[in-house]
Structure formats: C-alpha cells, structure tokens
Amino acid sequence: MLKLHIKIFIIIFLCRGGEVCAQGSFKEKIDSGHSMISEKFGKSVNRLDNFVFTEKELNKDTGSRIYFFNKVSFSNDGQFLNEINYRLSLRLPRLSKSLQLSFDSNNKTPVNGNSDEGEVDSSDNRKVEEKVEANLHHFLKLSKLASMRTSAGLTVSSQPQIFSKLYFSREDSFQYFNMTTYLGSEWYSRDRFSQSSGITLSKKINDISTFRYVVEQGWRESTNIVSLSTGPSYIYFLSKRRSIEYNFRFDYENKPHFYLTNLRFFINYRQKLHKDWLYYDLGPYISFSREKNFKQVHGAYLKLEVAFGEF
C-alpha cells in the first residue's frame, strides 16, 4: 500500500499539473469516460422528476454531483491512515434551489493495523467512527445576506441513529473587510445535542492573496466540553490551477478549566490536475498538543479528489 501511494506522489509531480499526463489518446479516453458517466448520472437524477412533475428536464444541470476522495495521512509518531470516502449530492431540476439529498461516508482505515491510534489530520487528532449519513437538506434564503439550512436523516453505522440539523449563515461587507458568521445546532438520537458557531474576517490584499482570521466555537452535550479554535490564515493563488493556504491555530477547551490544548501550523496546497473534476491536495503540518506534553508531532497528507457531474 505504501509503495502504491509513493508511486501516486511521483506521478502527480511528474505530470506538472496534469499537462503531460493529459495529452493524446490517454486524455481523450479519460475525458470520454468521465463525460459518459457524468451524462448518465445527470439524466438519471433528472428522471426522478417523474415522481413529482410530468415534464422532465433531462439536460438541465442542477448541481448534482458524485465526489470520491482518497486521503493518505501519516505522522512521525507512527500513525498512517488511508481514507476512501464519497459524497453523493442529488438535486431535482424543479427543486434544486431548495431541496438536496446527500449521502456522505466517513471511513478511516489505519494502514499499520493499529485501530487504537487517533485520526491523523492537518487540523485535528480525533478518532472518527466509520459511518454513512443520509441527509435531506432544505435551503431557505432569508435575505440578500443571510440563509438557513435545515437537515434531517439517518446515520448508518454500528449503532444507527436519526438526526436533525439547523444552520444559519450571514455574510456582511464593510469598508476594510468582509465578515462571515454562522450558527449551527445538531441533535442525534444517541449522541444528543451539539452546537457550533464561528466568525471569519476576510481582507482581500490583492487579486491573488487574501488574509483571514477565524474564531470557531463548539459544544457537545455528551461531554459537556466547550471548545474554541482561533487563528489567522493566508491564502495565495499561485495560478488559476494552484493555490496555497497557510494556517495557524490555537485550540482551547474548558475542562477541567479553560486552557490551551493544542497549537497547530498547517499548510494546504491545492492543484487542479485536469479540467474541473480532478484535483489533489497536499498538506504538511506541525502540532504541539497537551495530550502529548506539547511534544512536536509533524506529518502530512495527500488527497486525490474526483468529481462526476455536468460541469
């Protein structure tokens, strides 16, 4: 498995952004296969209108998509995870602005076989249960600046549970910066209530760079722990195909008292390999967590993303 992912790394960088690998008949075969799958998927989704409306719109792009992700993460303390996940988003033509049905998987497999190891991630180190969530989302535009999303569904896992979610967001523009705020609430039949909120201040420096400052807060009834994460980010667009983001975060929790739990610096490099449906992300990170006596832990991840749908 490790040799396979090393080969993937080599292929990506030798391809120089997909320009070499996507030439000649190989490019044509890839594009033809992707177009065929995307077209059949789009028309199959639109045919669902038969259950609601008599008139079909088979050629309308509603925003329905299938995403596949393969993410490999590793760190210097021996953790190595391989994640293969998908997201299926369905929108009917006549209801695409208000309703969406989605299926999201969350599967993480320790390659070293140690299931007790925590999740290796550029932004967190928590272990996540394998599950698939089936969601029905309803979108409502409250004003030009504010919107609301309600969701309900079923989590398919070793212990299935039903859930409901409510999410508000608002975007404001001021003279020197933009501000995005959100407030979310979730209820799960087994995990009970949780709440989250956040503020992002953004300042566009020029056409290719943006500075952001993020404050995010969360609470879970099951643990009664309040968490807080805050810090700056700097986004730089290297070209139309490539971008890089530098992030610095301070993480806090309130138990046994309000204190610093983690200090993180992580980078996310994103590049379009081919058209608008094939990407990869590369993210090195360094963290100093209280759980490990603030000993330095460093690592990285590689993520490949493939999307099917009408673009």
Question: In the chain, where are the structural domains located?
Answer: 2-308
Neighbours of 311 (CB within 10 A): 12
**Percent of the chain topping pLDDT 70:** 76
Is residue 49 predicted with pLDDT exceeding 60? no
- Mean pLDDT confidence for 44-52: 57
Residue 163: pLDDT over 70: yes
Q: Which of 101-105, 111-115, 149-153, 236-240 has the lowest mean pLDDT?
A: 111-115
Burial class (CB in 10 A: 0-12, 13-18, 19+), 64: buried
The confidence score (pLDDT) of residue 65 equals 83
182-204 burial: b if 16+ Cβ within 10 Å, else e:
bebebbbeebeebebebebbbee
| pLDDT tens for each residue of 93-115 | 666 678 888 899 987 666 544 33
Q: What is the pLDDT of residue 109?
A: 67
In angstroms, what CA-CA distances link 129 with 106, 115, 132, 199, 259?
A: 8, 11, 10, 28, 27
Cα atoms in the 13 Å half-sphere on the side-chain side of 282: 14
pLDDT for res 110? 62
Pairwise CA distance, residues 161 & 156, whole Å: 7
Q: H/E element holding 5?
A: helix 2-14
* Residue 22 pLDDT: 46
What pLDDT sits at residue 10?
Answer: 44
Predicted pLDDT of residue 98 = 82
Q: How far apart are CA 31 and CA 81, in angstroms?
A: 31
pLDDT in tens, 254-290: 987 889 999 999 999 999 988 888 899 999 999 999 9
Q: Residue 88, Cβ neighbours under 10 Å: how many?
A: 19
Task: Supply 54's token pair.
Answer: 């008599």
Fold adopted by 2-308: Porin (2.40.160)
